[in-house]
Amino acid sequence: MPVKWMSVLLLLQMSCYFRSGGCGKVLVWPLEYSHWMNLKIILDELVQRGHEVTVLRSSSSVFLDPKKASGLKYETFPTTTNNDKVEKFFTEWVNRWIYDVPKDSCWRYYPSFNILFGQFSDFILNLCRQAVSNKQLMAKLQESKFDVVFSDAIGPCGELIAEVLQVPFMYSLRFGNGYGLEKFSAGLSFPPSYVPIIMSKLSGQMSFMERVENMICLLYFDFFFESFPAKDWDPFFSEILGRPTTMVDTMKKAEMWLIRSYWDLEFPRPTLPNIEFVGGLHCKPAKPLPDEMEEFAQSSGEHGVVVFSLGSMIKNTTKERANTIASALAQIPQKVFWRYDGMEPDTLGPNTRIFKWIPQNDLLGTKCAL
């Protein structure tokens, strides 16, 4: 059995633990866009195994469509905004992340990141408050007697709902900024002498000065992660649970963390029994490409192809940025598949084709990106 499916089986066992001889009931607190795409792979497998999976979504959700349920159940709660505003928020947020945040050093990166993450945190907090303050919704969830809550660790609230419902919970996570989530909430160790902090742009072969730089990056992110929940999240958790507590203390109670990466792609470091690496769960056998794409891919010769996409949220950009990207792509020898939904750039090279949609898994075959 492939190692990557072992964690799915562990999840299945957990969700069936309280129901001898039967399947379990799973409540899900998800995020949008690519986070949802990764999480849905596991949820679909749970449904295939006979488990009852209920996804908690807001009425302003963009990506979570009950019409495409494929066996999933959805519980929708009302919010004070609409999905157009939510989509605009995330699109603008990611654009600023990609284009406006300096990434050449962590001390230049940190101030801009602090502002952006604060905006994201405020958005999720408002969403969470509307969910847990909805007495009718929480009463219905309580009556449903879920066995486990499954949540994306980047967007807090799943653990709070699990505490209110008094059921165990578990997380899905790719990585936290500066490894803060894994370090403070999951208890993982990241020795800065030989493990470069994520987003530090350092390698595993660090000189003495690079290790000093890595330590500074570590302190930056440690300070951020220890300070940001205290202002809003800790009082909110204490208010809802009716006792003094913190967000981090609540997150520490997670039964399991599913890390969306491969162990052999990570830097060697200590781990814990409740940490499972599940990289590649979203990879599937490649299907035949459309004729136009197949012909273009085959024309690449020995150089191969490049798939260029800015993720599930960014479909276009400004004309100036599009021309800059197109000019850079025109200089490489590979044929380029570019997922883009804007006007064709003036500097588009003959080696680049623009597509509104790209079957990325089929193009990359089994070498699926994380």
For residue 273, the tally of other CB atoms under 10 A from its CB is 6
Predicted pLDDT at 103: 67
Assigned domain for 370 exists? no
Q: Are residues 231 and 326 in the same domain?
A: no
Greatest mean pLDDT among 19-23, 232-236, 354-358 lies in 232-236
pLDDT, tens only, 243-292: 999 999 999 999 999 988 888 788 888 888 998 888 877 777 888 888 88
Q: Are residues 211 and 312 in the same domain?
A: no
Q: Are residues 273 and 316 in the same domain?
A: no
Report the 3 state secondary structure along 342-362: CCCCCCCCCCEEEECCCCHHH
What is the domain extent for residue 176?
3-277
pLDDT, tens only, 92-112: 777 777 777 776 667 677 777
The count of domains in the chain is 2
Predicted pLDDT at 244: 94
Assigned domain for 112 exists? yes
Counts of helices then strands in the chain (DSSP H, E): 13, 10
Percent of the chain with pLDDT over 90: 26
Which region among 22-26, 227-231, 356-360 has the lowest average model confidence (pLDDT)?
A: 227-231
According to DSSP, residue 302 is labeled G
pLDDT, tens only, 294-340: 888 888 888 888 888 887 667 777 888 888 998 999 999 999 999 88
Q: Are residues 243 and 109 in the same domain?
A: yes
pLDDT band of residue 7 (cuts 50, 70, 90) is low
Q: Are residues 319 and 193 in the same domain?
A: no
Q: Are residues 129 and 218 in the same domain?
A: yes
Half-sphere exposure of 150 (CA within 13 A, CB side): 27
Q: Are residues 199 and 105 in the same domain?
A: yes
pLDDT, tens only, 113-145: 777 788 888 888 999 999 999 999 999 999 999
Assigned domain for 352 exists? yes
Here the tokens at position 129 are 């408050």
Assigned domain for 267 exists? yes
Q: Are residues 237 and 349 in the same domain?
A: no
Q: Are residues 192 and 303 in the same domain?
A: no
Q: Are residues 259 and 323 in the same domain?
A: no
Predicted pLDDT at 157: 93
Assigned domain for 332 exists? yes
Half-sphere exposure of 185 (CA within 13 A, CB side): 29
Assigned domain for 285 exists? no
Predicted pLDDT at 318: 80
Q: Are residues 307 and 187 in the same domain?
A: no
Here the tokens at position 321 are 């940025």
pLDDT, tens only, 219-247: 888 887 777 777 789 999 999 999 999 99
Predicted pLDDT at 22: 60
Predicted pLDDT at 18: 47
Contacts of 67 (CB under 8 A, 6+ apart): none
Domain boundary, last residue among 224, 247, 277? 277
Predicted pLDDT at 14: 54
Domain boundary, last residue among 225, 251, 277? 277
Predicted pLDDT at 366: 40
For residue 218, the tally of other CB atoms under 10 A from its CB is 22
Assigned domain for 284 exists? no
- 270: helix, strand or coil: coil
Assigned domain for 343 exists? yes
Residue bearing the bigger pLDDT, 169 or 357: 169
CA-closest candidate to residue 240, choices 83, 134, 93, 367: 134
Q: Are residues 131 and 224 in the same domain?
A: yes
Residue 330: give its domain's CATH number. Answer: 3.40.50.2000
Domain boundary, last residue among 277, 301, 330? 277
